[in-house]
Amino acid sequence: MPRAHQAAWDRIADQVLVEVPRPMGATSTVVDPAYRLDPQEVFGRTAPLVVEVGSGSGDALVAGAAQRPEWDFLALEVWRPGIGHALAKMEAETGAGAQPNVRIVEVDAVVALQTMLAPGSVHEVWTFFPDPWPKAKHHKRRIVTPDFVDAVVRLLAPDGVWRLATDWDHYAESMREVVGAEPRLELVSTDRAPLRPVTRFERRGTAAGRQITDLAYRLR
């Protein structure tokens, strides 16, 4: 982790990171399946909850939380250097410390989404620029699978929305196919997600000549 990111971690990680039980050891990214996170307890209030799956270096997380202070944002990220980068961006945004409406869990989101949050408790789920695993032999590693779709559907509140974005056409087609096969969801928008900033992944994709695809699905 770069020195500036480590310094941000040292200053505010204890305010932002949520400690969860890890049956496989303190360094594991697998949360105890018996654990249930209580957003009201974690944030100290009741508010619409946004869950970002794979927040990376925190571009969308920090920008979204700044634009929507009345919402709470929970990021699930497995990459510790990315969390450190997000904390540094958070300090740059606030000019001092942590954003009060942001919490981060260092955890494998694919596993955690199955059990960690109560059904029907999430206002929006964000999956922005997940690893495309472009080689055909690696497609099975993509996060957007039928099981993942089922986990997201379980979490969404009645008015909930799942927002996805990718800069790989073949992954966009796969997302449409996999998510579109779920009868409980309907595609409601292909416009840019309202709170999604221009991220470094988007800039990289645009520079390479790739098209950006946004998808938004709502419970039927």
Catalytic residue numbers read 131
Nearest 5 degrees, angle CA 187-CA 130-CA 173? 45
What CA–CA distance (Å, rounded) separates 174 from 164? 12
Which two three-digit tokens encode residue 187? 């595609």
What CA–CA distance (Å, rounded) separates 25 from 84? 21
Nearest 5 degrees, angle CA 59-CA 52-CA 124? 120
CA distances to 94, 152, 157, 208 from 125, in Å: 24, 7, 10, 27
Return the bridge partners of 52, or none: 75, 126
Which two three-digit tokens encode residue 182? 């779920």
Return the bridge partners of 50, or none: 73, 124
What CA–CA distance (Å, rounded) separates 134 from 34? 35
Residues 6+ apart with CB under 8 A from 111: 30, 31
Residues 6+ apart with CB under 8 A from 30: 22, 23, 24, 107, 108, 111
